[in-house]
Amino acid sequence: MATYGRSVDSVDGNENLKIIITGDPARAVIAMMYLFVFMYGLTWAPIGWIYCSEVFPLHYRAKGVGLAAASNWAFNLALAFFVPPAFENITWQTYIIFGVFCTVMIPHIYFTYPETAGKTLEEIDVIFDENIAPWKSRHAGPSLQGRVADLKVQKGEPSAEQRETV
């Protein structure tokens, strides 16, 4: 937008539009916006709703998810008030602010958010109970299936490999 766009007072009488892009660059900007919305919808958009329901222990889960949802809407409200004046005053440079926040998020997420993919809620509880470092959590937490198999062996029940049928 900084390279191909030009500042205007309004576009077709709309005072909210301050930048105009025409021709092939306009098509490229539209294509990139569609690509962004599509990729965001597949990756980051559901994280706020899914992750918070996985990491809270059962007795705090309802309150934690409620707090996360309220925080999400509060920040969306703040963005709704921040973005229009930002675009009016600093135009395309508003994207730099969002880029800086996204860049800062990378180490924050890596160092503070444990991996929950492929884990049961109980295994996630073990990760938090044992204070496992988030960047070491991918392979952390013993498998519950392994624990069940160990208990069966301790009780003397034959495992599937030991069982013979005639």
Predicted local confidence at residue 166, as pLDDT? 60
C-alpha atoms less than 13 angstroms from C-alpha of 32 in its C-beta half-sphere = 7
19 beta partners = 7
pLDDT digit string (tens) for the chain, length 166 residues: 667 778 788 888 887 777 788 888 888 988 999 999 999 999 988 988 899 989 988 889 999 999 999 999 999 999 999 998 998 888 889 999 999 999 999 999 999 999 888 888 888 888 888 878 888 887 765 555 666 666 666 776 665 565 556 6
The CA distance from 166 to 159, in Å, is: 16
The CA distance from 4 to 64, in Å, is: 45
CA distances 1 to 5, 16, 25, 33, 82, Å, are: 5, 16, 9, 12, 19
pTM for the structure as a whole: 0.63
What is the SS3 assignment for 14? strand
Predicted local confidence at residue 143, as pLDDT? 59
What is the torsional sign of CA 97, 40, 136, 64?
positive
Residue-wise over 67-102: b if at least 16 C-beta within 10 A, else e?
Answer: ebeeeeeeeeeeeeeeeeebbeeeeeebeeeeeeee
